[in-house]
């Protein structure tokens, strides 16, 4: 075997390894989007049903109303629960269904077109801003914690994190060296960084609940 042959085999192995890493990353994103989408969809669906029962029966006690602090009732009956004139969970049902479908598509080996990836990124960011605002309202204005809402928070944060990582990976080669290095670090520590984000949110929730 000549040196040229060995070099060609080495290049092929490198390309194969890169392709395998790409498939692994795609499957990771797919699994996260599928699970987050299903969790968010289930939580939003239950909230929509609970809201319906609350509208039809003012004396109905939602299943997630445990005590004065952990209670969905005050959240569901607040003005913030229908920002656009209809119950917020309807947005979650539609949005998380799309997220779960995209996750399933990625797991099946599909790929997102560039324009679709941009649209998904914009939707994920918009959803995160909206959910973040609702979280602040719950902690500082309504003074009540809704377990199903908190499930939606976690699903939304996981979705935007992995969608962002995936899209940054697409353009990493076109980024400045320092930014590309930061993306590489984020990719290697994706789960730890998300866990840290969720832990910070949990701490904020506990501190706020302590002051209710």
* Kind and range of the H or E run holding 117: helix 114-137
179-202: burial string, b at 16+ Cβ within 10 Å, e else: eeeebeebbeebeeebeeeeeebe
- 81 DSSP assignment: G
Q: Hey, CA dihedral for 18, 23, 26, 32, is it positive or negative? A: negative
The interaxial angle of helices 190-210 and 177-188, nearest 10 deg, is 80
- Which CATH fold topology does 28-210 show? de novo design (two linked rop proteins) (1.20.1440)
Helix H, strand E, coil C: the string for 135-149 is: HHHHHHHHCCECHHH
Domain range summary for the chain, segments of one domain joined by +: 28-210
Distance of CA 138 to the CA centre of its chain: 19
Burial of 6 (0-12, 13-18, 19+ CB in 10 A): exposed
Please state the pTM of the whole predicted model: 0.86
Q: pLDDT by residue for the chain (212 residues), tens digit each? A: 554 444 343 444 344 444 334 434 788 999 999 999 999 999 999 999 999 999 899 888 898 889 989 999 999 999 999 999 999 999 999 999 999 999 999 999 998 898 999 999 999 999 999 999 999 999 999 999 999 999 999 999 999 999 999 999 888 888 899 998 998 999 999 999 999 999 999 999 999 999 88
User: Distance between CA atoms of 84 and 71, rounded to whole angstroms?
Assistant: 23
């Amino acid at each position: 075997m000549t040196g040229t042959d060995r070099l060609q085999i080495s290049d092929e192995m490198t390309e194969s390894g890169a392709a395998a890493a790409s498939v692994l990353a795609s499957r990771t994103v797919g699994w996260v989007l599928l699970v987050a989408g299903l969790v968010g969809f289930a939580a939003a669906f239950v909230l929509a049903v609970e809201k319906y029962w609350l509208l039809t029966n003012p004396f109905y006690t939602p299943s997630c109303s445990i005590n004065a602090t952990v209670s969905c009732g005050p959240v569901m009956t607040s003005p913030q629960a229908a920002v656009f004139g209809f119950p917020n969970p309807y947005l979650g049902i539609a949005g998380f269904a799309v997220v779960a479908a995209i996750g399933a598509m990625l797991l099946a080996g599909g790929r997102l077109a560039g324009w679709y990836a941009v649209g998904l990124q914009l939707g994920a960011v918009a959803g995160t801003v909206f959910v973040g605002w609702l979280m602040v309202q719950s902690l500082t204005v309504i003074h009540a914690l809704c377990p199903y809402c908190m499930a939606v928070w976690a699903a939304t944060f996981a979705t935007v994190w992995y969608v962002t990582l995936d899209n940054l990976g697409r353009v990493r080669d076109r980024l400045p060296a320092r930014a590309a290095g930061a993306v590489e670090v984020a990719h290697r520590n994706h789960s730890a960084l998300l866990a840290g984000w969720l832990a910070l949110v949990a701490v904020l929730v506990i501190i706020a609940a302590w002051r209710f």
